[in-house]
Structure 1
């Protein structure tokens, strides 16, 4: 990695028109519709009074594979998505145009042979409006770029889960074809569709997109804690710890402490934590 060129990289603003079809396709991709007659699912899948599921902010106006630019000298083949967070300042609305602006906020050098972290921030605004709609942060682990220098050596401390039994668990199944549906929202990485490419990357078969797994966990919190009211979700953050295979069942354990919801997600078939150190914050209902 060429640290200075990564820090100097300038992103062009990206416009994204939020068509109703795209909103519904994203919702289907994260498994909404498993309750086909329930208003909690239909509000994201039926065009009448359509709502946009909040975690869609992670997907729209995405900068794509910018790390593959040769001048950055990033070993992008060994890149992993480490952490993700988003904060909702106001809900997305179908039919509107949004603009995403991006910046690299920090690079953390873990040392030779230990990799590096790139921290990024996306600010999403409605076209022509200064006030942000959402702030999205991403942390990418560059396994092959340790020893190239950084802006700091202090990584953010992950959210600690409470030391007590969960207050509840929301179990959601994923479809065998989930990755093939979700990729139509814009992430066409072949490891999510091509068995041969998945095996070359070290997986037994195509894996589910990390942001799709995030979407399933967001569904769990909105369904189990927010009573299917997406407007109550203020912010959401987590750490990716293991991939999910399409068709597996994701159980999200959650702990309630006022407006803060701590959570982690497990794949039941392999008894494996796939999302960890989760923290959601809610807008408390007014009485």
Structure 2
């Protein structure tokens, strides 16, 4: 069968050493909408994302893309025990936890393993975990940990473990923060320069063959937008207050649409959700089960 859990689960995907610069951080922040509002070019708070001076900070979601930031080919899917193609795959969920403020430049090594393969009947879910440590040999301090899943349409049905998921309930009260971000028509074309050249987000023909009427925004772009909106709206724009961020990709975003972000303070964390704001798809979910943990 295309996916063999006995081979995939526990597979060590090896170590990868990578480096990043302040320019990479700036590009990432611009790609997730930083600096896009009127007056941001003059705002000290907004410039913490977009100006390479002593105040430059790094939004923790950058750690998710940093290892592959300089890739120019579509993401490979040569996972042990998994014979799948790119047109079958969408991002399922993503989380990152950081050990402290991320440096604006550096070198690190990430080691990744496949931890779970779930059988959803008409689809399969493949989970990976990565640990990034400072230094070219991975001997430095831990910088961040990631956990992510991909949803593989058309697979599953072998009678395997269906897995489990814990829904995050949104509080039954008015949100402490609500904001909207208008996704630009070229947003996906800009974000793909952050290392994800999947043609699903840029090539209309590929998107149509995959079942979409047009290219869709990268899930991780929506993920970064939501985290940035929450950080700005509830943490005073201070990225160092973010200890981690988790979200499940609940729906697609087409460039040109608007994302509405809602957040609720709950103890030592922020519960959040994101949906399409306005238009024919008003209210369609974008990101669900979102939790921003505080540092």
**Structure 2 residue aligned with 1:3:** 5
- Structure 1 residues 245 and 130, CA, compared in 2 at 3 Å: closer, same or farther? same
**Structure 2 residue aligned with 1:89:** 99
**Structure 1 residue aligned with 2:134:** 126
TM-score normalized with structure 2 length: 0.88
Shift in Å, 1:5: 2.5
Matched, 1:141 2:151: yes
**Structure 2 residue aligned with 1:117:** 125
Q: Structure 1, residues 166-200: CA drift from partner, whole Å, max 9, x if none?
A: 22202222221111111001000112112222222
Matched, 1:36 2:38: no
Aligned with 1:182: secondary structure? helix
- Structure 1 residues 123 and 8, CA, compared in 2 at 3 Å: closer, same or farther? closer
Quick check: 1:75–1:145 contact (8 Å CA) kept in 2?
Answer: no
1:82-231 → structure 2 map (5 Å cutoff)? 82-111=92-121, 114-127=122-135, 128-148=138-158, 150=160, 152-231=161-240
Shift in Å, 1:59: 0.5
Matched, 1:57 2:66: no
Q: Structure 1, residues 29-65: CA drift from partner, whole Å, max 9, x if none?
A: 0011112222222112111122222110111114974
Quick check: 1:2–1:148 contact (8 Å CA) kept in 2?
Answer: no
After superposition, the CA RMSD in angstroms is 2.0
Q: Runs of 5+ in structure 2 lacking a partner?
A: none
TM-score normalized with structure 1 length: 0.90
**Structure 1 residue aligned with 2:291:** 279
Distance 1:233 1:130 in 2: 22
Quick check: 1:2–1:74 contact (8 Å CA) kept in 2?
Answer: no
Quick check: 2:8–2:80 contact (8 Å CA) kept in 1?
Answer: no
Shift in Å, 1:148: 3.5
